[in-house]
């Protein structure tokens, strides 16, 4: 029996992370409630959630579902290679995707010659390659489909009334990853004379740096521990804008978080940033331009409202659950049709 339904509305997907830490999660009734338990329905879990599918870490469990599979490549890729063999023996249409898709992460993985060769071997054997960012397409020759967000689901509408939004939330938190440009975002925020919140385990060091940048220490506040996702979104939603200067070309969860909170995201060159916030993202913009955009959004009510409305419209069209589910169904339908050709080519050693 073919594993791809004729009606895209009936399409369901298994996302498999072999040997990963996240447990099984069933999205057959849709996205979980905020803080209900398990992984939030974002990032790769969202591909399963938007199709009412399931997330697995055990290959046998994925085979038992009988659904088409998105196989995540992580670690040394050997677990993924074995999982792919078993999935194809079971006759399941299987696309693969790198789990870590920032350019710095891809370089760390594929610059190792043995791992790079194994990656190319897996790509050749799989039915297709799905990239969560437009930049990652170049490494596998597949298709870009963004990670979706539950836009339109009132349970995930974390926005607050405009009068309750104040200041800047700095979206990044990795000082030790150069491409995150966390310091640059910190410096821009220090120049804007507005309340600023930053995730920081070492507030003393951050206060000293803030002072060295001529920032008003009384304007600076911290979140020092990891929060449940819904609580984190509630913290983000208190602010007027999210600010970052990330140049890592990631899927764009910082921008996705801002989207769920109904606030603009300034900076960042992730996939969601480019698709949903094209007029404020960091793609092709200097730090000076980002500072000016942030200042305008903090002070211009009409621009602020127009930016939020435009982002929501773009999100519904391009990264909502229904729009991405439809694209996934079309993609898997196409690679299922190509499966016999690819399998014959593989047996011939082509």
- Strand, coil or helix: 194: coil
Task: Kindly state the average pLDDT of the residues 213-241.
Answer: 94
Does residue 236 contact residue 256 with C-beta atoms inside 8 Å? no
In 3D space, the residue among 55, 53, 289, 66 whose CA is nearest the CA of residue 188 turns out to be 289
Q: Quick: pLDDT tens for 100-135.
A: 999 999 999 999 999 999 999 999 999 999 999 999
Task: Kindly indicate the confidence band of residue 338, based on its pLDDT and cuts at 50, 70 and 90.
Answer: confident
Q: Which residues contact 194 (CB under 8 A, 6 or more apart)?
A: 166, 167, 168, 219, 240, 298
The structure tokens listed for 217 are: 């220490």
**Which pLDDT score is estimated for 343?**
45
| Residue that wins the pLDDT comparison between 179 and 38 | 179
Q: Quick: pLDDT tens for 77-104.
A: 999 999 999 999 999 999 999 999 999 9
* Least confident among 37-41, 78-82, 204-208: 37-41
Task: Kindly indicate the confidence band of residue 313, based on its pLDDT and cuts at 50, 70 and 90.
Answer: very high
Q: Which residues contact 224 (CB under 8 A, 6 or more apart)?
A: 199, 200, 201, 203
Task: Kindly state the average pLDDT of the residues 274-278.
Answer: 98
Strand partners, 130: 143
CA 117 to CA 289: how far, in whole Å?
A: 41
Task: Kindly indicate the confidence band of residue 198, based on its pLDDT and cuts at 50, 70 and 90.
Answer: very high
Does residue 171 contact residue 242 with C-beta atoms inside 8 Å? yes
Q: Is the pLDDT of residue 274 over 50?
A: yes
In the predicted model, what is the mean pLDDT of the chain? 93
**Which pLDDT score is estimated for 2?**
53
The structure tokens listed for 233 are: 């979104």
Q: Which residues contact 62 (CB under 8 A, 6 or more apart)?
A: 14, 16, 56, 69, 83, 87, 92
Query: CA-CA distances (angstroms) from residue 143 to 133, 134, 135?
Result: 9, 8, 10
Q: Is the pLDDT of residue 58 over 90?
A: yes
Indicate the CATH number of 154-318 among 3.10.129.10, 3.40.50.2300, 3.30.1330.10, 3.40.50.2000.
Answer: 3.40.50.2000
Query: CA-CA distances (angstroms) from residue 139 to 104, 249, 270, 349?
Result: 13, 13, 17, 21
The structure tokens listed for 58 are: 């055990």
Task: Kindly indicate the confidence band of residue 339, based on its pLDDT and cuts at 50, 70 and 90.
Answer: low
Does residue 200 contact residue 176 with C-beta atoms inside 8 Å? no
**Which pLDDT score is estimated for 323?**
97
Statement: 8-148+320-348 belongs to CATH 3.30.160: no
Half-sphere exposure of 213 (CA within 13 A, CB side): 21
Report how many helices (DSSP H) and strands (DSSP E) the chain contains, helices first. Answer: 14, 12
**Which pLDDT score is estimated for 35?**
66
Q: Where in the chain is the domain with CATH 3.40.50.2000?
A: 154-318
Task: Kindly indicate the confidence band of residue 25, based on its pLDDT and cuts at 50, 70 and 90.
Answer: very high
CA 266 to CA 258: how far, in whole Å?
A: 10
CA 186 to CA 183: how far, in whole Å?
A: 5
CA 271 to CA 40: how far, in whole Å?
A: 19
Helical residues (DSSP H) of the chain, grouped into ranges: 44-50, 59-65, 78-89, 103-110, 113-125, 137-140, 182-190, 203-212, 229-237, 253-261, 271-276, 287-299, 301-318, 321-348
Task: Kindly indicate the confidence band of residue 7, based on its pLDDT and cuts at 50, 70 and 90.
Answer: confident
The sign one gets for the Cα dihedral 200, 201, 205, 208 is: positive
Q: Is the pLDDT of residue 341 over 50?
A: no
Task: Kindly state the average pLDDT of the residues 132-139.
Answer: 97
CA 170 to CA 276: how far, in whole Å?
A: 18
Helical residues (DSSP H) of 142-282, grouped into ranges: 182-190, 203-212, 229-237, 253-261, 271-276
The pTM of this model reads: 0.93
Strand partners, 72: 97
CA 265 to CA 312: how far, in whole Å?
A: 12
């Amino acid at each position: 029996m073919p594993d791809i339904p004729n009606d895209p509305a009936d399409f369901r997907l298994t996302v498999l992370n072999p040997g990963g830490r996240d447990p099984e999660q069933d999205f057959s009734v849709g996205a979980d409630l905020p803080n209900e338990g398990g992984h939030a329905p974002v990032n790769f879990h969202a591909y399963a959630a938007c199709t009412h599918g399931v997330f697995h870490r055990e290959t046998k469990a994925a085979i038992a579902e009988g659904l088409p599979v998105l196989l995540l490549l992580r670690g040394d890729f050997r677990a993924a290679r074995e999982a792919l063999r078993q999935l194809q023996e079971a006759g399941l249409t299987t696309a693969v995707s790198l789990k870590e898709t920032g350019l710095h992460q891809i370089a760390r993985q594929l610059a190792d010659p043995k791992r790079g060769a194994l990656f190319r071997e897996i790509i050749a054997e799989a039915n297709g390659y799905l990239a969560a960012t437009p930049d990652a397409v170049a490494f596998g020759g597949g298709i870009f489909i963004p990670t979706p967000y539950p836009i339109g689901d009132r349970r995930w509408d974390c926005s607050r009334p405009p009068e309750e939004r104040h200041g800047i939330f700095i979206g990044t938190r990795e000082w030790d990853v150069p491409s995150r440009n966390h310091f640059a975002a910190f410096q821009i925020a220090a120049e804007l004379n507005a309340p600023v919140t930053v995730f920081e385990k070492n507030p003393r060091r951050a206060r000293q740096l803030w002072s060295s940048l001529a920032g008003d220490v009384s304007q600076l506040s911290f979140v020092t521990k990891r929060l449940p996702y819904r609580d984190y979104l509630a913290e983000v939603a208190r602010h007027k804008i999210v600010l970052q200067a990330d140049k890592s070309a990631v899927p764009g969860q910082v921008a996705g978080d801002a989207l769920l909170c109904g606030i603009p995201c300034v900076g960042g060159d992730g996939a969601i940033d480019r698709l949903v916030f094209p007029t404020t993202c960091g793609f092709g913009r200097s730090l000076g331009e980002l500072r000016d955009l942030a200042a305008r959004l903090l002070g211009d009510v009409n621009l602020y409202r127009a930016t939020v409305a435009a982002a929501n419209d773009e999100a519904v069209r391009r990264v909502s659950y229904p729009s991405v589910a439809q694209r996934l169904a079309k993609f898997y339908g196409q690679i299922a049709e190509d499966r016999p050709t690819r399998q014959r080519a593989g047996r011939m050693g082509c």
